[in-house]
Amino acid sequence: MSEIMAGPGTEPQQRLLAAGVRPTVARIGVLQILETEAPRRLTMDTVFHHLLDQGLGLKHATVYRALRMLVDHGLLSREWRNGISGAKALYGLMTPDAGSCGVEIRCKECGHAVNINDISLHEQLRSLVRDGGLELAAQPMTILGRCIRCEQCSSSTSLPQSR
């Protein structure tokens, strides 16, 4: 296997490790390609062929798994584009800015959480917060709430039903 040397600056290897992902050749390769191509978004096939060009003859399944893994860990973003042959996934780099655009809504009772990754929402929040003289911390924001299940539990105990 050929060793891919990590370049200076935003070393893909470091970014993988920081995200808790074991840096494999496929994952480093995928990340490097999308870094080079950013802000363009690529389909899996394009990524696959870039890897081939670099002499990395990886299996489709390996590339697909690497892409999914990186999306799951917030290093890449995926969007769906509708085409004639159905929806196609486009993969792009999650910029450090966009990476912190997560808003987590967490149930304060049971910890059940929903993550919302919406860059425009984040931008809007950021400009609102800036108006107030603050800067958003570079981590997902957490909004505390209560999930439907906990809501139902508490309403059935605290509010006696008329029977």
CB of 113 to Zn ion, least distance (A): 10
CB of 140 to Zn ion, least distance (A): 18
Judged by CB, which is closer to Zn ion: 88, or 112? 112
CB of 112 to Zn ion, least distance (A): 5
Distance CA(100)–CA(116), nearest Å, equals 11
> CA separation (Å) from 73 to 31, 46, 52, 136, 151?
12, 21, 24, 21, 30
Judged by CB, which is closer to Zn ion: 89, or 153? 153
DSSP state of 111: -
Judged by CB, which is closer to Zn ion: 35, or 109? 109
List the structure tokens of 51: 């890897």
Judged by CB, which is closer to Zn ion: 141, or 153? 153
CB of 68 to Zn ion, least distance (A): 28
Judged by CB, which is closer to Zn ion: 110, or 119? 110
CB of 110 to Zn ion, least distance (A): 3
Cα distance from N-terminal residue to C-terminal residue, the chain: 71
Q: Which of residues 100-139 bind Zn ion (CB under 5 A)?
A: 107, 109-110, 112
Q: Is 113 helix (H, G, I), strand (E, B) or coil?
A: strand
Q: Which of residues 136-155 bind Zn ion (CB under 5 A)?
A: 147, 150
Residues that bind Zn ion (CB under 5 A): 107, 109-110, 112, 147, 150
